[in-house]
Structure 1
């Protein structure tokens, strides 16, 4: 097996470093003094690196309209439009955009802190130094980890399930690395530790501690490269690319750099690779397409999706990757995501009709697919279908929809609908997912 080469990727801390800038170069803090809605919108748009023309296109409005909102010549838009702007600008809470302190607790793309977050954070932050306890063997840890992944996929309350398991898994995997007797054992332990950090990222995603998420992502990548295990490297790169992409448009290049470097390392191994390595290559190819779709690059997005589909066709019909859910069954769901990110409402609905959600084994992944379907229906002007699909997402995995900013935005928007029935249905769902008080 080839020795793993270092995968170049960009640390978010390093990205914030660079040449010194004068005070005139620094974007003002929207909270430094009272600012109008349009001024906040402009500051946040520029911080995310989104041109005015791009924001206008994503909103279905003209660049002139965006400019007039930003300079205060037009009144603050109504809630549905504010929520769409908040989604595109990836604001953490609505008050960040509106300046209204009453919106301070209304988090969009950061969900509520889970009750088990402090215990998981403590496990990540506390290194098991000086313990006399013998570490479990890597094979034993790998078996526990496989059971944890299975539990996550089968549970409605998947964050509760893995949040309960993670502290001990993190401690034991760290201990196994420290107590490894040989280079071979140490690499095996590092591979398990890397995947434990991967499981941790699923728990930490969209929770109110982004620095902890990045710390886990960085450690996962380091452990994967120390392991020299192709599959571990692929999984770590897959998650790191997602973390970059979800940080906003200014991080898309970093997401691509990680994805393409991992693919360059893994593709030469494919002729003799097991199914898990083939699957992680396919998952990485889809991630490249996902990022291209976020950029609005239709050709590249579907081109990468097609490459991933061809990898999926090489896998056994019943195969399902334990971390990424990559499989033949998932490609329909991935097609919906590409169409939605390209803001193609009709194509999103067409792809949703072709995809079979029942073949997706993982409850949280099935719920995520339902949310993507709901986004497609709303883009296509079918809000009733969007709400009905979000109900299905809640049924599959309530904890997925509670932490999903897109779902929260759709529900809140529909609480302002003209139709009394839609308002009632949206309000009931908003209470269930914790956006509105009962």
Structure 2
């Protein structure tokens, strides 16, 4: 390796502190910011990175891994003997079939494509099935290959410009559905490819709802890539909101809901930046939009609704690292009003983060058990949940340690 080359944190041997410094720098985080998010001093971070302090205990290591969005704990610790994926879950058994459907583009076919209306009805049933299923990736993995191929075929066989736009809208939403399946699986390149195709199809459709959904998912993908991508997430969100503004006066509930979902995404990213005023300001705007929707309305893609705003408030408080406020919001939110099993499980995970921030580890663990009851696949693929469970396997309280070990085994966390 040339002497001026950037060190590779995955190369052995390399000390924990060196790996931490390289990964922190790649994420665009300064030492003071890193220290603040970890609840430590900048001098502590500096000492760890220089090797003046040895590798911290597991709970601290896990929080560093969460902050740096490390995929595998071994990438940070250097210990390859027991790899533990954190923010990337296991590959689903149906991943290969979905990958093949995305990557295969048959330009000739003897069969006739289903009408766009028929595909839209299938999509609606797929979204409903996802919300009702405890193992929603299994459901989507079964439905997606056929939907992807049929939607692609409908675009190619469209006879008129109007038919082609309608088919593109269906194809875009099909790719949106695929992103829910692919998220947090070991196929980041495929996820980005699907996101980009979804955005292209949405723009070709000229459908404001399809464009809004594609932008919403793209903004999430950028934000989850780390602080250096927050500007891209905000840019995507703001451009989509500006585009949708002219459709809102006469738009249907779907258009209003995707605008509200984007408003919350702006608040979510602001909270990740630590911008308290902006985060709650955008939440207020989303709340105003939600109140303009029918009480029973529930957006099938984003879950945006009146029912979800309490859960969104928990997320904002958690991302702002406000433990007491997080618990207050968790106690206020009506979880039973959330009709989607995977979204309810996600909310339970956010509640668990709130309780842990507030020093209520036992309640946090019990809440993760409730998340597992609601939707096992949601918690299995969620990095925050995985981190909390692993921390509790090191608890000094025997009962918490035992419960955490049972849940870790259910999640397949410690498998080599």
Q: Same fold (TM over 0.5)?
A: yes
Q: In structure 2, what is the Cα distance between the partners aligned to 1:152 and 1:59? A: 35
Deviation (angstroms), 1:427: 0.4
- Deviation >6 Å, runs of 4+: none
Q: Could you list the per-position Cα deviations for residues 141-164 of structure 1 after superposition, in whole angstroms to 9, with x for gaps in the alignment?
A: 000000000000000010000100
Q: Following superposition of structure 1 onto structure 2, how do residues 162-173 of structure 1 map, counting pairs within 5 Å? A: 162-173=140-151
Q: Could you list the per-position Cα deviations for residues 208-261 of structure 1 after superposition, in whole angstroms to 9, with x for gaps in the alignment?
A: 010000000000000000000000000000000000011111110010110000
Question: 2:206 matched to 1:228?
Answer: yes
Deviation (angstroms), 1:29: 1.1
Q: CA 1:96–1:166 in 2, change beyond 3 Å: closer, same or farther?
A: same
- 3-state DSSP class of the match of 1:272? coil
Q: In structure 1, what is the Cα distance between the partners aligned to 2:179 and 2:10? A: 30
Q: Could you list the per-position Cα deviations for residues 84-133 of structure 1 after superposition, in whole angstroms to 9, with x for gaps in the alignment?
A: 000000000001101111143x1000000000000000000001211111
2:16 maps to which residue?
Answer: 37
Question: Contact between 2:260 and 2:289, CA under 8 Å: does it hold in 1?
Answer: yes
- 3-state DSSP class of the match of 1:102? coil
Question: Contact between 1:427 and 1:436, CA under 8 Å: does it hold in 2?
Answer: no
Q: TM-score, normalised by structure 2?
A: 0.98
Among 111, 134, 142, the alignment partner of 1:133 is 111
1:384 maps to which residue?
Answer: 362
Q: CA RMSD in A?
A: 1.3
Deviation (angstroms), 1:31: 2.7
Among 152, 155, 168, the alignment partner of 2:133 is 155
Q: Could you list the per-position Cα deviations for residues 388-433 of structure 1 after superposition, in whole angstroms to 9, with x for gaps in the alignment?
A: 1001100000000000000000000000000000000100111111
Q: Could you list the per-position Cα deviations for residues 305-325 of structure 1 after superposition, in whole angstroms to 9, with x for gaps in the alignment?
A: 110000000000000001000
Give the aligned length. Answer: 416
Q: In structure 2, what is the Cα distance between the partners aligned to 1:28 and 1:288? A: 35
Q: In structure 1, what is the Cα distance between the partners aligned to 2:259 and 2:108? A: 39
Q: In structure 1, what is the Cα distance between the partners aligned to 2:378 and 2:393? A: 20
1:66 maps to which residue?
Answer: 45
Show structure 1 runs of 5+ residues with no match: 1-22
2:187 maps to which residue?
Answer: 209
- 3-state DSSP class of the match of 1:134? coil
Among 78, 87, 94, the alignment partner of 2:66 is 87
1:19 maps to which residue?
Answer: none
1:117 maps to which residue?
Answer: 95
Among 289, 301, 304, the alignment partner of 1:326 is 304
Show structure 2 runs of 5+ residues with no match: none
Q: In structure 1, what is the Cα distance between the partners aligned to 2:32 and 2:355? A: 25
